[in-house]
Amino acid sequence: MEIYQNILVAIDLSEESVQVLSKAAKLAKNSNAQLSIIHVIEPLGYAYGGDIPMDLSEVQQQLDQHARAKLAKFGETYDVPLANQFIEIGKPETEIHRIANEKNMDIVIVGSHGRHGFQLLLGSTANAVLHGSQCDVLAVRVGK
């Protein structure tokens, strides 16, 4: 019996995502597990304060289209079927937890910059995913 059957990889679509996906793909191969990927887009109202009297729906739609295209390229590179690619809009840790629970994931893999000191006190998505997860979480050190 393999320890992990369903692996969810949370990526930010940056070049560092390759580091996270590469390790996740190796784990999936070694465990004979199904790999899924998720990217969460924060609503522009959250990112820019919500009080802005502007219609940002067109910009939000463009962000969504760009993210879907980029996620599809990662999916193609790492052989992740479209049904296992998730683009969600919301708070990253909330959406990652929701998809992990709904899809019965055994582990969530996230990238971490390994911040220390004051930056660590401010928190990070990886930290938030770890503390609210109902399954295992693996943080892959990225950058440097």
Asked whether the predicted pLDDT for residue 81 surpasses 50, the reply is yes
**Cβ atoms of 129 and 110 closer than 8 Å:** yes
**List of E strands, 26-106:** 34-41, 85-89
**Cβ atoms of 139 and 110 closer than 8 Å:** yes
Measured distance CA(124)–CA(115) in Å, rounded: 9
pLDDT confidence tier of residue 75, bands split at 50, 70 and 90: very high
pLDDT digits (tens, 9 = 90+) for 114-126: 554 444 443 488 8
Instruction: Please state which architecture CATH assigns to domain 6-141.
Output: 3-Layer(aba) Sandwich (3.40)
Q: To which residue do tokens 């199904």 refer?
A: 34
pTM of the predicted structure, to 2 decimals: 0.85
pLDDT digits (tens, 9 = 90+) for 34-63: 999 999 998 876 545 555 566 677 888 888
Q: Express as a percent the part of the chain with pLDDT over 70.
A: 83
